[in-house]
Amino acid sequence: MLIKAEGITMDFGGFKAVSDASLSVERGEIVGLIGPNGAGKSTFFNCLVGDLRPTQGQVWFDGVDLTNATPEEHARRGIGRTFQLPATFEDMSILENVMVGAFLRHPRTQDATQAAHEILELTGLSGLASQKARSLGTPGRKRLEIARVLATQPKLMLLDEALAGLTPVEVQRAIDLVRRIHKTGVTIVIVEHIMEVILSLTDRVLVFNQGRVIASGVAADVVNDPAVIEAYLGRPRTRTRGGTP
């Protein structure tokens, strides 16, 4: 087991954004987290990476209890996460942005530069290395966010809507990139609203609704689960016979 989170609850002054949620991921898996807006997916991620200390529950990573560890300790142990809103350094070059990640494993500038160049190659950003991050559009920004995290050499990558806002063609390129990253040996947990991404990338999914895990299993099965359909639509799907209801 690479990561095991058990009974995670995050209580914001009486409001439970996450309630008794558990997740175990084996090395080499790609697991999806889905659920409607506000279901608690990002909050759950925050609890896994040390950005929030869960009110209840425990997080073990690679055999170590990281429940109360700092975000830096999580990163050092090998958990990397992308932010739903990319955390880009706008006035720094794209190379320098990736170097911020690379410095975690390579304290010497020369080594960090070389490592960052390798990541830019892998993520298809090499041609833009010297440009300022502020020059990037959404697809480039999403790619840079992945590159910066990848430069920390994570064992586990948590992708929080890293493909949101892309055109269908760009989504396909991003799916290819995630597959490439996975092939290098990185385990992946991905939050995504784009069903095509979830169906084509994940081995299995967990469905969140109102802070709770309400279903889990292979994505193609889970999306037909009545409880899941109800969570998304707010009511069970009913068949209508011809015409508009």
Which stretches of the chain bind ligand ATP, using CB under 6 A? Answer: 12, 15, 17, 35, 37-43, 84
Closest separation in Å from C-beta 45 to ligand ATP: 8
Closest separation in Å from C-beta 172 to ligand ATP: 22
C-alpha neighbours within 13 Å on the C-beta side of residue 209: 12
Q: Three-state SS for 120? A: helix
* β-sheet with 30-34: strand ranges across: 79-81, 156-160, 187-191, 30-34, 204-209, 212-217
Choose the one of ligand ATP, Mg ion, none that binds residue 130, judging by a C-beta under 5 to 8 angstroms depending on kind: none
Tokens 């063609």 belong to residue: 169
Q: Of 163, 145, 151, 149, which is closest to residue 202 (Cα–Cα)?
A: 163
Closer residue to Mg ion in complex, CB, 61/83: 83
Closer residue to Mg ion in complex, CB, 48/119: 48
What is the rounded CA–CA span in Å between residue 27 and residue 2?
A: 5
Between vectors from CA 150 to CA 124 and to CA 195, what angle results, nearest 5°? 75
Choose the one of Mg ion, ligand ATP, none that binds residue 80, judging by a C-beta under 5 to 8 angstroms depending on kind: none
Q: Using the rule CB under 5 A, is 42 a contact of Mg ion?
A: yes
**26: which 2 tokens?**
């084996």
Question: In the range 83-102, which residues lie near Mg ion by CB under 5 A?
Answer: 84
Where does this chain touch Mg ion (CB under 5 A) — which range of 39-47, 111-119, 173-181, 201-209?
39-47
Closer residue to ligand ATP in complex, CB, 15/239: 15
Closest separation in Å from C-beta 84 to Mg ion: 5
Closer residue to Mg ion in complex, CB, 64/85: 85
Closest separation in Å from C-beta 113 to ligand ATP: 34
Closer residue to ligand ATP in complex, CB, 14/168: 14
Strand partners, 3: 25, 61
**222: which 2 tokens?**
């889970």
